[in-house]
Amino acid sequence: MKILVVQDHLRSGGTERQSVLLARAAAAAGHAAVLVTFRPGGALAASSGVPTRSLQPFDLGLDWFAPGLLRFLRRERPDVILCMGRMANCYAGRIQAGLPGAAVIATLRTGKTLPLLFRRSLGSVRHVVANSRGARDRLVGGLGLPGEKVTVIPNALALPAGAAAPPDPEMRARLGAPPGAAVLLCVAMFRPEKNQRELVEIAASLPPEPDWRLWFAGDGPARAACERLARRRGIGARVAFLGYQADPSRAYAAADIAVHASRSESLSNFLIEAQARGLPAVAYEAQGVEECFVPGRTGWAIARGDRAAFRAALGLLIAEPADRRAGRAAEARAFAQASFDPVRQADAHLRLFQRLLEDGGRASRM
């Protein structure tokens, strides 16, 4: 098969990591795989490991601008076109109309409001992949797509799971976390919908003992305001901003609890990566969040805005005895490795692609 994975820009977000992972897996399985981006460059571009073609001659900073897209795709003659991210999915219906022989697959990997062109594309493409049961329910129950047109394939672990990494005392000491302190970690781009400010507000009301620290890994336009808020709330000394981490493994290894207050998710890469590292999670409810952990055992989904319940869940985990913490960590790792195995998730995509091509071939012969 010739498989094109279409993405507006290879920034450092979860969807972009999934695009790279799937393109690599397709190439490793012997298929001709190409990453097609609207904008050149991006944090993941240099390390993608697969052929990449960009439509803009130089980076115009426009996520939506895809000059010559249909002309390029017709020249490539792909069998399968997988659209990843909101901008690419806005073009999916137009791509399917322009290349009727190809299997164009839209994806739903966001909890954000969908643009009109995205919604129209969902009805026009050959198939749709949802990355969580919550996303599928939205497509079928909310947007009226036929159930047989939607397949659920969860995100794959984009970072190697493996066994639990040992604590990193150097990192903890460097960031001012004493040996007995509980480190709360959030790994996410600093965008308004990721809502890191809410985590600062929750932390500001935690009691000073048992000792705790809050770490943020990531960068983006909302970071500076979050830093100012931490200082204003008087917890600047307890909050660390690590910046963008190409591989946040050391942060996971040094942390104790994953925290997330995002308002818009479909299936959180951060939460499943944290589970794979044995970190219990406390997160606000959002689409697909409860599918990232074993509810009430390796993670807790808190009603949006209920800071008291969020703090209570954190308090229980911070005070948890070491033996119980170790058992919870082992269960979290086992769950993540069983549920989000990258080999199995990539294979599920490839099997779907093959089935769609066979179904299309049979339909053309009828």
Given this model, what pLDDT does residue 363 score? 53
In the chain, the domains with their CATH numbers are 2-155+341-361 (3.40.50.2000), 169-339 (3.40.50.2000)
Contact 73, 4 (CB under 8 A): yes
Q: What residues are paired with 283 via a beta bridge?
A: 260, 301
Given this model, what pLDDT does residue 365 score? 43
Q: DSSP assignment of 99-119, as one string? A: -TTSEEEEEE---SPPPHHHH
Burial of 216 (0-12, 13-18, 19+ CB in 10 A): buried
* Series of mean pLDDT values for 10-residue runs along the chain (366 residues): 97 89 96 97 89 96 96 97 96 97 96 94 97 95 96 86 56 90 95 96 95 96 97 97 90 95 92 96 96 96 97 95 91 95 95 93 51
What the block records as the tokens of 136 is: 């599928």
Q: What angle do CA 251, 255, 258 make, to 5 degrees?
A: 100
Given this model, what pLDDT does residue 278 score? 95
pTM of the model: 0.87
Given this model, what pLDDT does residue 161 score? 42
Contact 185, 271 (CB under 8 A): no
> How many CB atoms lie under 10 A from the CB of residue 223?
18
Given this model, what pLDDT does residue 14 score? 84
Extract the runs of DSSP E, i.e. beta strands, from 212-284.
212-217, 239-243, 257-260, 281-284
CA atoms within 13 A on the CB side of 90: 13
Please list, residue by residue across 70-87, b when 16 or more beta carbons sit within 10 angstroms of its beta carbon and e when fewer do. Answer: eeebeebebbbbbbbbbb
Closest to 324 in 3D by CA, of 161, 332, 294, 211: 332
User: Which H or E run contains 223?
Assistant: helix 223-232
Q: What angle do CA 289, 131, 22 make, to 5 degrees?
A: 125
Given this model, what pLDDT does residue 162 score? 42
In a 3-state reduction of DSSP, which class is residue 59? coil
User: Which H or E run contains 275?
Assistant: helix 269-276
Closest to 44 in 3D by CA, of 246, 294, 224: 246
What distance in Å separates the CA atoms of residue 282 and residue 261, rounded to the nearest whole number?
9
